[in-house]
Amino acid sequence: MDVGDVFRRYLDLDRPGYAGKPDLEADAFARLAAAIDKARFQIHIHAIGDRAIRMSLDALEAARRENGPRDARPLLAHLELIDPQDIPRFRRIGVIADFQPLWAYADSYIKELTIPKLGPERSRWLYPIGSVAASGAVVAGGSDWSVSSMNPLEAIQVAVTRRGPEEGAGPAFLPEERIDLPSAIAAYTIAGAYSAFEEKETGSIEVGKAADLVVLDRNVFDVPPERIHEAKVLLTLLEGREVFRGPGFVGGAGK
């Protein structure tokens, strides 16, 4: 059986009640999560479909019940399809929602492979970044590189516009799931630092923190949202030391 056949079987809505067979059944998943959490590892799970996301949240919640409260900061990555009933659980359990916003627009995969199989009711909850952010959960941004671009400016733009980076202005895909520009930037800065337990050292420009920053060739708050991805990095500092200088940068920098 090739990968394409597996994919078709997994999405086959003509098999009522069949949603694939998990590698770990719920009880085993919960026991594993509890054991890893008890050993004080930070748990990071990749979950795409609504069933996988619910199973992951169930396992993390069971681990918290068994081991008691602590600042564990587990992450769920990808989060393509979340059942709306599960959205409030991220904040309640303390799970970081690690989206890849670059995927949150109606490309051919969404229009031709996903929506026809899910139907309109479930497709409403594809990449629900806005709803998760509105719930008060921590939303972090990732790239899943090398699967897709690691340029955060492209992903930030899509999070704001819900359109492809090169599509220009126009109707947004699920416009209610857009987030504003400050929230999108925070997902790739302070929320990323928080995910790594480093929010006191980096992630924002504050006195006493490491000078980890980039200088862009334009103020992304002053350009049309659909042109954010055109911004270029002129200078990169890591702990105050210059590690990259573009040809257009004029001025001093740290040594």
For residue range 158-206, list pLDDT tens digits in order. 999 999 999 999 999 999 999 999 999 999 999 999 999 999 999 999 9
* Cα–Cα distance list, 102 to 131, 144, 149, 215 (Å): 17, 10, 8, 22
Query: Quick one: pLDDT at residue 6?
Result: 43
Residue 214, C-beta contacts closer than 8 angstroms, at least 6 positions apart: 233, 234, 235, 236, 237
**Band (1; pLDDT cuts 50, 70, 90):** very low
Domains along the sequence of the chain with CATH:
3-203 (3.20.20.140), 210-255 (no CATH)
Write down the residue that tokens 């992951």 correspond to.
Answer: 56
* Spacing of C-alpha 122 from chain mean position: 19
Q: What's the predicted TM-score (pTM) here?
A: 0.91
In the predicted model, what is the mean pLDDT of residues 76-89?
97
pLDDT of 90-132, one tens digit each? 999 999 999 999 999 999 999 999 999 899 999 999 999 999 9
Q: Residues 77, 153, 240, CA angle at the centre, nearest 5°? A: 95
Handedness of CA 110, 139, 43, 201 (dihedral sign): positive
Q: How confident is the model over 12-69, as pLDDT tens digits?
A: 555 666 667 888 899 999 999 999 999 999 999 999 999 999 999 999 999 999 999 9
Q: What angle do CA 62, 63, 68 make, to 5 degrees?
A: 105
User: 255 pLDDT exceeds 60?
Assistant: no
Q: Tally DSSP H helices, then E strands, for the chain.
A: 11, 7
Q: Is the pLDDT of residue 4 over 50?
A: no
As given in the structure block, the two tokens for residue 255 are 């040594």
